[in-house]
Amino acid sequence: MSKNRIGQNSMETIWQKSRWREAVDKLKNNSYTNFSLKNGYPSQPPSYREYDSPTLPQQREDRQPLTANKRMKDVSCCLKATNYIIGIFLLISLILSTVGATTSYWLDTGTLNVGLFKVCTKSSTCDPVSSFTESASATTPNTWRIVTGLDISGCCILLLCLIFYCIFVHCTVLDYRKVSCGVLLCILVMLSAGGILSGMAVMVWYYFDIDKIYSLDWSFYVAASGGGLAFITFCIMIVYIFALAFE
């Protein structure tokens, strides 16, 4: 009887050890287990407290977009520099266009300096521009309204471009939101450049229509420079957005 009991105890011990090893193997294969084994037995029991938290799945979902999408700090240095160049060009273009639109040196008649909003004599006595447009050729009033409307519209859109540029820079994660904001910014820059340059084209047409009896002054060239710089910024932005989309 004692031999049978000893054999039964040894069988139970072997069975318990085999069950224990199966449990250890399952814990080793479990993705949440992070403990070391010593001589086939766990030297540090696993803790599942953090995995029992009901807020953990939500935290994982919140962290996933940060690891799935590339951040702007991970893009190449060339794209980072282009991003800053676009902002600088937009600011300079807005300043040039605004200075050109608000100063009264678009046309020089010899005795008057004519701007979009006022006309001044050489002694700096200024009057509304209507005093010049009504006494000039028949096409002057309509031409002045068109040029003024296009140039001011371009300046306002450029100001809107700077606001959208700040939003664009604030988007640090490179995903479809940033690319969409960049496409919208690109369209706005195109509209602003088109408005300013269209106003310049109308003014050049008027200059040739009056047989060059007046000369174009520096305010016209400053505003034209702002529109040209806005167009260059638009071309840079097209390449930049495509580079971001395929980065």
Are 112 and 194 in contact by the 8 Å Cβ rule? The answer is no
* pTM tops 0.85, yes or no: no
Q: Could you report the per-residue pLDDT of 159-217, keeping only the tens digit for each? A: 999 999 998 888 777 777 888 888 999 999 999 999 999 999 999 999 998 888 889 99
How much is the pLDDT for 220?
94
CB 170: neighbour CB atoms within 10 A?
9
CA distance 112 to 95: 25
Q: Could you report the per-residue pLDDT of 65-102, keeping only the tens digit for each? A: 434 455 555 667 887 888 899 999 999 999 999 999 99
CA distance 175 to 140: 50
How much is the pLDDT for 34?
47
CB 182: neighbour CB atoms within 10 A?
23
CA 61 distance to own-chain centroid? 26
